Amino acid sequence: MFKGRTGIARLFLLLLGLALGTGSGLQAAPAPAAGPNDANYWMLEATNHLGQWIWDTNTFDKQTCHFWRAIEIPAGVTVVRARARITADNGYSLFLDGREIGRGSDWKTLTEYDLKQVLPPGRHILGVEGFNDRLKAGIIFGLQIQLSDDRTIEVFSDGTWFVVPLTQRDWAGLQFPEPEWGRTVVVGKIGQDPWQPWPYGVVVAEPVLPEVVHFWQTTWFQLLLILTSSLAVFFSVWLLAQLAGQGKAQQFLQRERARIARDIHDDLGGQLTQIVLMGEVAQREQVDNAPAREQFRQICEQAREVSRAMDEVVWAVNSRRDTLRDFVTYVCKYAQSFLSATAIRCRLDVEADLPELEFDLPTRRNLFLAVKEALSNAAKHSQADELFVRIYCQDQQLVVALEDNGQGFDPAQADAQRNGLTNMAQRMAEIGGTHRLVSAPGTGCLAMFTVPFKKMKQRFWFGRWRQRAEISGANSTGSS
């Protein structure tokens, strides 16, 4: 900048120096600079540290060009000041390290950007996207960087910039140029037509601040997220494979259960029926007081008992009976049939809206055997004339209660040598249920069995596989 002279004296000396330098071959003495109060001072200051107007080798209307330049900030220093000025005919977008930091569309106005906070030591990439609406085109740029060690780095728009093909992806962030990139050409100097008079003004933009990188935008977090997602997908696939394998195993198990139940019912059941029929025929052929007649009667009775026991086994094994409602139906029929041969009247009290739940083999088998033991104890020891079988749901539990009006007893005085009460408690413990016995002499007896619904629901999801297995398996088997 020139100092200490008026505008008229400065212009006179400048023209004189140019005339002398041109006419005589001598270099003109530097003209004194305009002061800060001079009318032309701001124009000289605005165009200071600027390069030349540059563009691609070819110019046409509605043209877009990409310009690329790398700069290097030395290590071990900090940037004290970094000022960039730019404009374009007709518009531009300015990029630094792939990040857009500004844009403009009036070539008559320069825009100044403060880049101090975004230029740490290292390699940086400047990128400019220029757009030409019509006729002449060009961009002009200047960057002055002052370092903490008093060195200065200046970058101008000149022929050292690269022209990037429009087909290049992520061009503004590439660290090194490609071999096929061309160079820019200088299409004009400051003050050269058609870019004069120029500039009309300078706009100072807000300082460019570093981008705020949240933790979820960091590379380590994204890698961790990808790793976690991959592990989750792998674990899900593994679970699906395990579930599919378990489903196939369940299907095979249900087919085998159906086959065993069918074989027991059709083969052993048929043979026991033949034994009973043959025994009855032999019994009728004997005289009334013959010893063999009584023996044949006992054989027939034992065969019927074995047949009833076999029906229980078939019911327990048959996968088609793995439902709560079927269990309730079977228990009620069994209680009525069992007590019909005694002086005890059986009364049933069953909740109407029982839930649709899977009732797997271990649960229903242990619960049924516990109920069967309670019925047997009532028939043998209660001397009751009435017994209530109540089945209902309470607090997410299935409750089966057997209450008689017999003579009752003191549970603390029960015979320790008899295993009935112990067996009932053990069976309920095996399936996660509970057994409660309430009795006193002369007040009857209440045996209550409870099973949580969760013991049924844990296996409910396999119910659909079981149903498909039954359909694809053997035909349905009969049971009482």
Please report where in the chains the tokens 């200065």 appear, as a residue: 152
| Per-residue confidence (pLDDT) for residue 318, from 0 to 100 | 64
Provide the mean pLDDT of the chain.
81
Give the model's confidence band at 189: pLDDT under 50 very low, under 70 low, under 90 confident, else very high.
Answer: very high
Which one, of 409, 339, 346, lies nearest residue 379 by Cα?
339
- The backbone torsions φ and ψ at residue 214, rounded to the nearest 5 degrees and listed phi first, read -75, 160
Q: What would the mean pLDDT of 472-479 be, rounded to a whole number? A: 40
Which positions ≥6 away from 232 have C-beta within 8 Å? none
Task: Give the model's pLDDT for residue 211.
Answer: 86
- Please give the structure tokens belonging to residue 79: 């940037």
Residue 474: predicted pLDDT: 37
The Cα–Cα gap between 51 and 66 comes to 17
Are 187 and 137 within 8 A, CB to CB? yes
Instruction: Give the CATH superfamily of 320-480.
Output: Histidine kinase-like ATPase, C-terminal domain (3.30.565.10)
User: Residue 267 has what pLDDT?
Assistant: 62
pLDDT of residue 97: 95
pLDDT at residue 424 greater than cutoff 50:
yes
pLDDT of residue 478: 37
Provide φ and ψ at 308, rounded to 5°. -65, -40
Q: Is pLDDT larger for residue 295 or for residue 439? A: 439
Parse the chain into domains and list their residue ranges. 7-39, 47-209, 275-317, 320-480
Note the pLDDT tens digit of each residue in 10-44.
444 344 444 433 333 333 334 444 455 554 555 66
Q: For residue 9, what pLDDT is reported?
A: 42
Q: Does the 47-209 domain belong in CATH 2.60.120.260?
A: yes
Reduced to 3 states (helix: H, G, I; strand: E, B; else coil), residue 377 is helix
pLDDT score of 12: 42
Q: CA–CA separation, 48 vs 70, rounded Å?
A: 21
The pLDDT of residue 41 is 59
Task: Give the largest CA-CA distance in the chain.
Answer: 165
Distance of alpha carbon 477 from the chain centroid: 45
The predicted pLDDT at position 88 comes to 96
The two counts, helices (H) then strands (E), for the chain are 10, 18
Q: How far apart are the first and last CA of the chain?
A: 114
- Report the range of poorest mean pLDDT among 78-82, 143-147, 413-417: 413-417
With 80 as the cut, is the pLDDT of residue 454 above it? no
